[in-house]
Structure 1
Amino acid sequence: MKRVKKSPFIFLTLVGCCFTNLLWAQEEYKDPKNKKGTEVFEGGASYQVKHYPQKTFSKTPKNIILMIGDGMGLAQIFSGMTANGGHLFLENFKNIGFSKTASASNYTTDSAAGATALSTGVKTFNGAIGVDNQKQPLSHILEKAIKKGLKTGLVATSSITHATPGAFIAHVDSRKSFEDIALDFLKTDIDVFIGGGRKYFETRKEGRNLIMEFQNKGYQIAYNLESIRNTTSGKLVGLTAADHNPPMPERGEFLEIATESALHLLNQSKKGFFLMVEGSQIDFSAHKNDTPGVVLEMLDFDKAIGTALAFAAKNQETLIIVTADHETGGMTLLNGDFTTGKVEAKYTTGGHTGIAVPIFAYGPGAAEFCGFMENTDIAKKMMQLLSLEQKP
């Protein structure tokens, strides 16, 4: 029998395919094969929304909480509002504007370029994480806050190395470089980060265990919500899933607990803090055109907003900004019922759209976020309010 000679080209092709699959494993929710096309949310249990009057000690904030609903447009917001009997915690925000989301390379941005604009005040190309059009590092608000002595934190329902949280701490020219993004966490003095993505820190290609290195730097490590909640001081690495955390409702109260825990740790700073909280999976469900998923993720994000509001209303020195990096799905609401919570929607795409997204602000400095503005203006205004940059 004649032995067939194995082609090195075939071997390299197979290796390349496997590597590509690993790279995109974090973003399989974008695959058209996963599109559910579930256009009706039939309703369910609602929660009570509390009113928090806006009272402030000063015109400028000591702390800023930036909350990003990934893929969250007006339709996603109103789907949650409909499902919850016509009310969301977002109604507490009286200062409202709109963000133009286009990137430097595309009318329709991706999360990497969108989040980089929100973290640095500079527009860049789609796929870029904390670098400019020439692939040179940009300075994040988180890095500037650390230099000034503020405490800093990141929370996400996705992997913490995903595009949006990654764009607040890393400098890489491809959002798919998850292990490089994880490595960049070690290059800062961030105080707390909570999300999924444990495998990018522990089981890396080069065999390096970043978790042990964080422990050597004095960080406490938590792998579940109970441990996160029980961490009452010091620095914290919270990694609650190998990759992304589960979607709602399987995830439970992760985002509320993670947000509350991060605020408790960061508020121990005398100089103030900056915290970014992402409701990552509104985007995931919108990519799938999955209306029940969008609604449940939107409600989960709004509950976390309620947690932030409870803190800010008591603290009176904290500015909360709620916005999105872009809209996903081209979601349109065709019908609904405030009594039953039923939502009926249609979608125009399984990807992102270029439409402007809302900005909501509460607390000292909130008036700065009214009207139409570029997404880069949000970063610039936050830096100015925290005195990390001077006004032009």
Structure 2
Amino acid sequence: MLPLFAAANLDIHDAPSRPKNMIIMVGDGMGPAYTSAYRYYQNNPDTEEIEQTVFDRLLVGMASTYPARQSGFVTDSAASATALATGVKSYNGAISVDVNKRPLTTIMQMAKERGMATGVAVTSQVNHATPAAFLVHNESRRNYDEIAKSYLDSDADVILGGGQKYFSSSLLEQFKSKGYQHIDDFSQLSSITQGKALGLFAEVQLPWVIDKQDSTQLSLLTQKALDLLSQNDKGFVLLVEGSLIDWAGHNNDIATAMGEMHGFANAIEVVEQFVRANPDTLMVVTADHNTGGLSIGANGEYAWDTQLLQGIKASPASIAEQAIAIDSWQALVNDKLGFEVTDTELQRLSNARMQGKQALEASLKQLVDTRSFTGWTTTGHTGGDVQVFAAGPAADLFKGNQDNTDIAEKMMSLLPRTK
């Protein structure tokens, strides 16, 4: 049963225009500090003005994110994605099932019932919590193999992201028998021009933007999804997730997080251009929760050094892995960080290096945080509200303060009526 629409006694179907297509974009873990940090990270230091980003341009409101009360006030990605996909609160770990583990109707299911196309494009494995909650049902987000197999019954038209390890050759054959075209390299995207697509481009996650020095991965997947789904005359519903913003936040890795923010921002601009060319399309962008308790400025200093962050050429994880493998590691660290490490800092790194890759990575992140005045409060999630961004027909419905379930209810109410 469709949840009641929660805002202002408004009958959506009397609105002057309703979308044919809907795109929900989730910056996983992207609390408000991330969009502020990205603004300063992208700022041109040679101008007096601090330039706006796509986030500033599209901001319309805020949303609360708490899960079902049995899980407290701090949500995980599964419960939040369930809320965004179904309009119902559930427990942390739930994949579109209620607190009694009964399946909940998702917006993707509703779209399919109306003859619309559906798809997901993400930077994590495609069977991770957020895409899974839009496509299937499971009592636990950790049941990755079960979730991958259940995608066969989702009838999603486009599934793009990582996760090769969860799709055996026999499972891939089953997808092919259902009409899916399977690809595993970005160079093959152009080979698919119509029909169903299953693109798995990495063993688990896609490469970090900062390591690949390429912020177009999610943009390319998003554009391909739009090209394929828009061929359906009845419209489509698409989920796009900047999944790895969250992973970088869990790692308390500011340089890598900014790279992932850049990749997500580029994907939003791809969708924004699609909306301009197709004014019957609604885009809604939000975060599922905040990760890491990021602070811009730390240790009592009224500063944040974006120039230092912009000079970093690789993730601390990658730098540590390379530095462990060679004897002349000091020069490599200086080159990859983009600044000269002091003798005292070098000694700390050397001590950490003797303890192994994980210790060296942690020491590198601490060095970057100290030098850039970046702060963190946790390696987990926090319970603060997140931002909501929107454009296209009915975008005004998402203005102001709302709950994440309201976002789902509004979008579901905008679907065509069933006969």
Normalising by structure 2, report the TM-score.
Answer: 0.75
**Could you list the per-position Cα deviations for residues 272-328 of structure 1 after superposition, in whole angstroms to 9, with x for gaps in the alignment?**
100000000000011111110111111110000011011111111111101010000
Structure 1 residues 267 and 327: CA distance shift in structure 2, 3 A: same
Q: 1:94-109 maps to which residues of 2 (within 5 A)?
A: 96-104=60-68, 105-109=71-75
Q: Does 1:79 align with 2:45?
A: no
Partner Cα separation in structure 2 for residue 145 and residue 271 of structure 1: 10
Q: Does 1:285 align with 2:285?
A: no
Counterpart residue number, 2:285: 322
Q: 1:19-38 maps to which residues of 2 (within 5 A)?
A: none
Partner Cα separation in structure 2 for residue 182 and residue 379 of structure 1: 24
**Could you list the per-position Cα deviations for residues 12-51 of structure 1 after superposition, in whole angstroms to 9, with x for gaps in the alignment?**
xxxxxxxxxxxxxxxxxxxxxxxxxxxxxxxxxxxxxxxx
Counterpart residue number, 2:304: 336
Q: Does 1:371 align with 2:335?
A: no
Which of 88, 93, 112 is equivalent to 2:53? 88
The secondary structure found in structure 1 opposite 2:256 is: helix
Q: 1:238-277 maps to which residues of 2 (within 5 A)?
A: 238-251=199-212, 252=214, 253-277=216-240
1:383–1:389 Cα contact (<8 Å) kept: no
The secondary structure found in structure 2 opposite 1:186 is: helix
Q: Does 1:216 align with 2:177?
A: yes
Counterpart residue number, 1:25: none
More helix by share: 2
Partner Cα separation in structure 2 for residue 58 and residue 281 of structure 1: 37
Counterpart residue number, 2:111: 145
Q: Does 1:111 align with 2:72?
A: no
How far did residue 184 of structure 1 move? 1.4
The amino acid of 1:125's aligned partner reads Y
Q: Does 1:68 align with 2:26?
A: yes
Partner Cα separation in structure 1 for residue 194 and residue 221 of structure 2: 14
The secondary structure found in structure 1 opposite 2:211 is: coil
**Could you list the per-position Cα deviations for residues 98-139 of structure 1 after superposition, in whole angstroms to 9, with x for gaps in the alignment?**
111000022000000000000010000001111000000111
The secondary structure found in structure 2 opposite 1:325 is: coil
2:304–2:373 Cα contact (<8 Å) kept: yes
1:159–1:197 Cα contact (<8 Å) kept: yes
Paired positions, count: 328
The secondary structure found in structure 1 opposite 2:257 is: helix
1:145–1:388 Cα contact (<8 Å) kept: no
Question: Which shows bigger deviation, 125-134 or 381-390?
Answer: 381-390
The amino acid of 1:348's aligned partner reads T
Structure 1 residues 349 and 62: CA distance shift in structure 2, 3 A: same
Structure 1 residues 382 and 275: CA distance shift in structure 2, 3 A: same
How far did residue 218 of structure 1 move? 1.1
**Could you list the per-position Cα deviations for residues 218-245 of structure 1 after superposition, in whole angstroms to 9, with x for gaps in the alignment?**
1111101111233111110000112111
Contiguous gaps of at least 5 residues in structure 1: 1-56, 204-208
1:106–1:126 Cα contact (<8 Å) kept: no
1:82–1:337 Cα contact (<8 Å) kept: no
The secondary structure found in structure 2 opposite 1:377 is: helix
1:329–1:350 Cα contact (<8 Å) kept: yes
Q: Percent identity?
A: 43
Counterpart residue number, 1:301: 264
Structure 1 residues 265 and 291: CA distance shift in structure 2, 3 A: same
The amino acid of 2:139's aligned partner reads D
RMSD of equivalent CA atoms: 1.9
